Structure 1
Amino acid sequence: MTPLSRWREERAVFLLTVQFLTRLPVRDPDLWSPARMARIPAWFPAVGVLTGAVMAAVWLGAGALWPPVLAALLAVAAGLLLTGAFHEDGFADACDGLGGGATRERALEIMRDSRLGTYGAAGLGLMLAGRVVALAAMPPVAGAVALVAGQATSRASAVLAIATGRYARDHGTAKPVQEGVTPADLGLALGTAAAVAALALWALPPGALLAGLGGMVLGHLAMRAYYERRLGGYTGDCLGAVQQCSEVGFLLGVLAWL
């Protein structure tokens, strides 16, 4: 494969990732293929940079007009609109299944149900509130950088869960992704997240960044320990839950230092 054809292929995989994770109008019917779909985790953090940049712009723009809590609410809302609440939906479904299912089989059955239950509503409300309150308490520039870094690193956290975990179902939309995470794709995802975190040092003190990464690791480990104990592996909903817990852990860690 020539460098030009390689670049075109990577561009196609990136656009397919944007199409998969967001509501942005990527309308190319020739993008999808099983091979490309298997590679999209490599670009999850890069799409996180994109969504985080939009949220940061809303946060800074709204913050020039309104109080911080309203600006934070609008920034989080912008992220929900941009992604179609993709990860939040997974987190809510995981809360319903893990909270309401007495057995592994029942938990997996509940997680297939698209209806929102009590555990999902409570968990999602607390998760969104935590993100809004944490962001509202940060200085404007630090909050903007934390949004971008949090969106990117939390998606790398989900890729790590795919690469090092086991799929819990016999079939489902997440299994082809799980089977396609190669060491090279994992390296690209983690490398992108590491580069974004390093660039965040221009606005965040080193201690704040390390505290944020520590909070992200705790969120990742706590969520994984819970669903792996209950299910013996992950589902697509669990990946959304890992991303959400990692992101709020990052924001809370940064805020704890600031």
Structure 2
Amino acid sequence: MDRQEDRHRLDLRLALADLVADTAACVRFFSRLPVPKLCSADDPARLPDFSQISRAIPLAGIVVAMPAGLLVLLLGLSQLPTLASGFLVVGMLAMVTGALHEDGLADVADGFFGGHTPERRLEIMKDSRIGAFGSIALIVSLGLKAVLIAALLDRYTPLEAMVILLGAESLGRTLIVWQWSTLPAARPDGLAHRFGVPISKTFKQACIFGAACLLPTLPVLPLPSLALGLILAPLAAHGVGMLAKARIGGFSGDVLGAVQQVGTLVFLAGCLAVA
């Protein structure tokens, strides 16, 4: 009996070490946060295999958004106007990721609405320069997110606002895994070719971790607010995915960034749309 219990403990430790390693790899990929080697299963030099490690993307979303969440808490305790606080938090979110997802949204807007063929749209999306559609998309999305964060600070305590923001950022990244696992790749030499596509088992695990990351919002958000956010955010992410399939034939790294941005924004908007 003792030997069996020891075996269970060892299996649990190994599973936990694998999850920590997967989360660390996702944080390194999706942010500029310095993450040292965390356990024996963690290899900072290893290329990520998202067919397996994408299960940890929702958990990594909490880690990546934590500096912005702490800033929400700090600024919420100050007398700074909430809209100013919202813009500062948006800046922190972009700084931690190197504006990875914001850049994807801008590229998608430029490519999808600036090109007339899938090939031309993909060519525009690879161009590092930003166009009119991308500029408009960033102005609207960043401004709207700042306003929504300000509304959180107006309606909830600073700690509650932080919890909601962290849940929203985790959900936005869970939606990445969903669209990544269901859409075909737009480029044969793109993200999927280099780093793999989440498999069904991995996606299901990501959903479990994403749901766990949303649990702290249950005592904070009224049920109608949370329900509306959880209904609208997947619909918006699915809409981005269907548009990507129609415009360029499937997902790209930029499309996944746009899914995260749109999903997070729509979740926050849904949560604030009803009392």
TM superposition score normalised by structure 2 = 0.87
1:157 aligns with 2:175: yes
Q: Give the direction of change, closer, same or farther, for the CA distance of 1:54–1:184 in structure 2 (3 Å limit).
A: same
Deviating beyond 6 angstroms after TM superposition, the runs of 4 or more aligned structure 1 residues are none
CA distance in structure 2 between the partners assigned to 1:35 and 1:72 by the alignment: 33
1:101 aligns with 2:115: yes
Match runs of 1:1-258 below 5 Å: 3=11, 4-28=13-37, 30-34=43-47, 36-65=49-78, 66-138=80-152, 139-141=155-157, 142-179=160-197, 181-258=198-275
Q: Which protein has the larger Cα radius of gyration, Structure 1 or Structure 2?
A: 2
CA distance in structure 1 between the partners assigned to 2:69 and 2:51 by the alignment: 30
CA distance in structure 1 between the partners assigned to 2:21 and 2:215 by the alignment: 27
CA distance in structure 2 between the partners assigned to 1:175 and 1:114 by the alignment: 21
Q: Between Structure 1 and Structure 2, how many residues are aligned?
A: 257
Structure 2 gaps of 5+ residues are 1-6
CA distance in structure 2 between the partners assigned to 1:78 and 1:211 by the alignment: 27
CA apart distance, 1:208: 0.9
Between 1:232-241 and 1:34-43, the stretch displaced more is 34-43
Amino acid at match of 1:52: A
CA distance in structure 2 between the partners assigned to 1:223 and 1:157 by the alignment: 11
CA apart distance, 1:69: 0.5
What does the per-residue CA deviation read over 1:84-118, in whole Å, with 9 as the maximum and x for residues that have no partner? 11111111111111111111000011111111111
Structure 1 gaps of 5+ residues are none
CA distance in structure 1 between the partners assigned to 2:161 and 2:145 by the alignment: 11
RMSD: 2.0
CA distance in structure 2 between the partners assigned to 1:227 and 1:235 by the alignment: 9
Amino acid at match of 1:161: Q
CA apart distance, 1:83: 1.1
CA distance in structure 1 between the partners assigned to 2:95 and 2:65 by the alignment: 12
CA distance in structure 2 between the partners assigned to 1:25 and 1:198 by the alignment: 27
Amino acid at match of 1:62: L
CA apart distance, 1:14: 1.6
CA distance in structure 2 between the partners assigned to 1:168 and 1:33 by the alignment: 25
Aligned partners of 1:13 and 1:31 also within 8 Å: no
